[in-house]
Amino acid sequence: MILIADSGSTKCDWIALDQKGKQCFEKVRTKGLNPAILSEKKLTKIIKKSDVLMQSKKEVTHVFFYGAGCGTEKPRQLLKNILERIFKKAIVEVQEDTMAAVRASISTPNEAAIVCILGTGSNCSYYDGKHLHQRVDSLGYSIMDDASGNYFGKQLLRDYYFNHMPENLKASFASQFNVEPDYIKYNLYKQPNPNAYLAAFAEFMFLNNESEYISNLITSGITLFAKNMIYQFKDELANVPVHFAGSIAFFSQKEIRTVAKALGFKVGNFVRSPIEGLSKYHINNLN
């Protein structure tokens, strides 16, 4: 059995396939497994909480895990060790989430492209057809992650409290979320995964996307992301498309195309969730 996982900070999707590519059970969803944020104990607990995964663990021969927080060696190795302890018979490969987006979004094998993730967090890499290249080290959600769910959540909260949000939207926002200051600060500073907490507010944008305020907010965030992240590959932009993965990107296609036209880069494919594309890739490339 081949087990494939695609994880952000908020959620992790798991798919199990047999050697012929047939799905062994329905897609499993657990909480996100970000080893740069969560402890070894917490990561282990999340995986073991899934009865389906635990019932199948002895049958798993390969684990291909793609996740947020797996871009550097220490957290990547931490998660690899945990997976090897749980799935004792499996060969385990752990890669950053950008590689999942690459393998799910490129149209042809060995295609070169710039690949962006806009989900709970954000990232951007150049894939030369074989290897990923990044020229900016991420400092995490509190400083970077432009145009991500947690970025937009933070902007919405700021605009609500600074009275930059239109009154009709303020009323709607307050009716949908608990906007008491003490509650917000408790979730930001006392609870785990504040980035996921902030990202939960981003859905509000797509429920109110007819608003000029919302459209401007999204466009501003995408522009910031493009200038800071996509344009680190300015030379490559002339020759390759820019693919996008993640729910924020998927629901912001109009604004992304507007920014791309203004800044002069070519938009490629949009993938809401890479997990399905990864299934085909791994069946075709399993040794």
Question: What is the full per-residue pLDDT of the chain (287 aa) written as tens digits?
Answer: 999 999 988 889 999 998 888 899 889 999 999 999 899 999 999 999 999 999 999 999 999 999 988 988 999 999 999 999 999 999 999 998 888 889 888 877 789 999 999 988 898 999 999 988 988 887 878 888 999 999 999 999 999 999 999 999 999 999 999 999 999 999 999 998 899 899 999 999 999 999 999 999 999 999 999 999 999 999 999 999 999 998 999 999 999 999 999 999 999 999 988 887 788 778 777 65
| pLDDT for 280 | 77
Instruction: Report helix, strand or coil for 188.
Output: helix
For residue 49, the one-letter residue type is K
Q: What does the block give as tokens for 247? A: 């729910």
At residue 154's C-alpha, the angle toward residues 149 and 159, to 5°, is: 125
Q: What does the block give as tokens for 270? A: 């949009």
Cβ 121 vs Cβ 8: under 8 Å? yes
Class of domain 2-97+274-285: alpha beta
Q: Which distant-in-sequence residues (6+ apart) come within 8 Å of 4 by Cβ?
A: 14, 15, 16, 17, 63, 64, 65, 275, 278, 279, 282
Question: Cα separation of 283 and 87, whole Å?
Answer: 19
Cβ 63 vs Cβ 224: under 8 Å? no
Q: Is residue 267 exposed (0-12), middle (13-18) or buried (19+ Cβ within 10 Å)?
A: middle
| pLDDT for 283 | 77
| pLDDT for 71 | 82
Question: Cα separation of 252 and 78, whole Å?
Answer: 34
Nearest residue to 92 (alpha-carbon basis) of 112, 109, 105, 78: 78
The residue whose two tokens read 């979730």 is 187
Nearest residue to 242 (alpha-carbon basis) of 93, 118, 74: 118
For residue 92, the one-letter residue type is V
**What are the extents of the domains in the chain?**
2-97+274-285
b/e burial code for range 33-65 (CB count within 10 A of at least 16 → b): bbbbbbeeeebbebbeebeebeebbeebebbbb
pTM of the model: 0.81
> If you ran DSSP here, which 8-state letter would residue 11 be given?
E
Q: What does the block give as tokens for 219? A: 């466009």
Question: Cα separation of 218 and 248, whole Å?
Answer: 10
Question: Cα separation of 90 and 56, whole Å?
Answer: 12
| pLDDT for 286 | 64
Q: Which distant-in-sequence residues (6+ apart) come within 8 Å of 193 by Cβ?
A: 9, 10, 32, 34, 37, 38
